[in-house]
């Protein structure tokens, strides 16, 4: 297969996690070697639907996902499972960004194919840790918030870049340090080691979102600052949760004025 959009769709549609990971790693290797390239004559993308995923985990509303303490192995497994589910969704999100949005620069497609490969590796690390804790992906309920935002932004590459990497995925930069601290109190150094890898590498993924969001705004003659907050208002209201990991977000391309305004909105919300 030499058509990047078709390869992205195959990765996106794969149901079995092991097959999705295998296809993802193969596709990224082919992108690196030049075997896979975007095809300007490819058929337009299909309307967005549910990505390929196994029958479990059962998807419930975010309020129905049980909160468990980290003092027990079961509670730590539930946390690892929640992060694994985010990473599984992130594989699909990266491939949908490749598949859905056409006529973008080659570097755009390389960035998101690379991100997909990273997310696949993160999912594998978390799955291995889950196995050590006596569980597997699918053993706990999960919610579908990330993919629901993908569906809401399927019409616009600008909105997708703003709201998925720079809002939902950036939230991981904010909350992961707190998770690590709680796990340190619980003495779970093995899970901490995995989360530290993910935190370090997710900065680059949010940075890719920032880079391509601003590129889209420049293409369309839109002010990126005001448009970002307009998209936030339209899709999320002003109910934002802080605090924000300012050093990590600055490294990921946010600017101080954005972070000040986000902090003010979080307080107001």
The pLDDT of 86-96, averaged and rounded, is 97
d(CA 262, CA 242): 8
Angle at 160 between CA 39 and CA 62, to 5 degrees: 130
pTM for this entry: 0.95
Angle at 172 between CA 170 and CA 244, to 5 degrees: 65
> What integer pLDDT is reported at residue 238 of this predicted model?
62
221 within a domain of the structure (yes/no)? yes
Per residue in 9-67, pLDDT (tens digit) is 999 999 999 999 999 999 999 999 999 999 888 899 999 999 999 999 999 987 777 77
Gap between the terminal Cα atoms of the chain:
48
In this prediction, residue 268 has a pLDDT band, given cuts at 50, 70 and 90, of low
47: Cα separation from own chain's centroid: 20
Got the DSSP string for 50-67?
Answer: PPP--S-SPB--GGGSPP
Got the DSSP string for 136-200?
Answer: -TTSS-B--HHHHHHHHTTT-HHHHHHHIIIIIIHHHHHHHHHHHHHHHHHT-HHHHHHHHHHHH
Per residue in 100-145, pLDDT (tens digit) is 999 999 999 999 999 999 999 999 999 999 999 999 999 999 999 8
> What integer pLDDT is reported at residue 37 of this predicted model?
93
1 within a domain of the structure (yes/no)? no
Per residue in 156-208, pLDDT (tens digit) is 999 999 999 999 999 999 999 999 999 999 999 999 999 999 999 999 999 99
CA separation, residue 181 to residues 176, 247, 262 (Å): 9, 17, 24
169 within a domain of the structure (yes/no)? yes
197 within a domain of the structure (yes/no)? yes
What's the domain range around 165?
75-268
Q: Residue 186: which region, alpha, beta or left (left: phi > 0; alpha: psi -120 to 50)?
A: alpha
101 within a domain of the structure (yes/no)? yes
Contacts of 33 (CB under 8 A, 6+ apart): none
Longest CA span, the chain: 55
23 within a domain of the structure (yes/no)? no
Number of domains in the chain: 1
Whether pLDDT at 92 is above 80: yes
| CATH number for the domain harbouring residue 205 | 1.20.1260.10
46 within a domain of the structure (yes/no)? no
Per residue in 205-219, pLDDT (tens digit) is 999 999 999 999 999
17 within a domain of the structure (yes/no)? no
> What integer pLDDT is reported at residue 1 of this predicted model?
52
> Given CA atoms 228, 230, 234, 239 in this order, what sign does their dihedral have?
positive
């Amino acid at each position: 297969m030499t058509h990047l959009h078709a390869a992205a769709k195959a990765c996106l549609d794969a149901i079995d996690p092991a097959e999705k990971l295998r296809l993802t790693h193969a596709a990224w290797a082919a992108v690196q070697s030049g075997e896979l390239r975007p095809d300007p004559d490819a058929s337009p993308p299909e309307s967005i639907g549910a990505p390929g995923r196994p029958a479990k985990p059962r998807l419930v509303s975010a309020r129905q996902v049980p909160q468990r303490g980290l003092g027990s192995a079961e509670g730590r497994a539930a946390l690892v499972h929640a992060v694994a589910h985010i990473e599984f969704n992130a594989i699909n999100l990266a491939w949908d960004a490749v598949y859905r949005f056409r006529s973008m620069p080659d570097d755009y497609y390389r960035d998101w194919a690379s991100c997909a490969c990273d997310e696949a590796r993160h999912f594998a690390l978390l799955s291995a840790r889950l196995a050590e804790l006596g569980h597997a992906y699918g053993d706990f309920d999960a919610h579908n918030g990330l993919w629901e935002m993908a569906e809401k932004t399927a019409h616009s590459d600008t909105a997708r870049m703003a709201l998925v990497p720079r809002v939902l995925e950036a939230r991981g930069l904010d909350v992961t340090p707190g998770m690590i601290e709680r796990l340190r109190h619980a003495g779970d150094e093995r899970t901490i080691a995995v989360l530290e890898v993910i935190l370090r590498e997710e900065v680059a993924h949010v940075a890719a979102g920032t880079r391509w969001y601003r590129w889209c705004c420049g293409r369309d003659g839109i002010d990126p600052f005001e448009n970002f907050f307009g998209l936030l208002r339209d899709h999320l209201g002003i109910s934002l949760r802080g605090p924000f990991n300012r050093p990590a977000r600055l490294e990921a391309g946010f600017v101080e004025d954005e972070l000040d305004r986000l902090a003010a909105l979080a307080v107001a919300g």
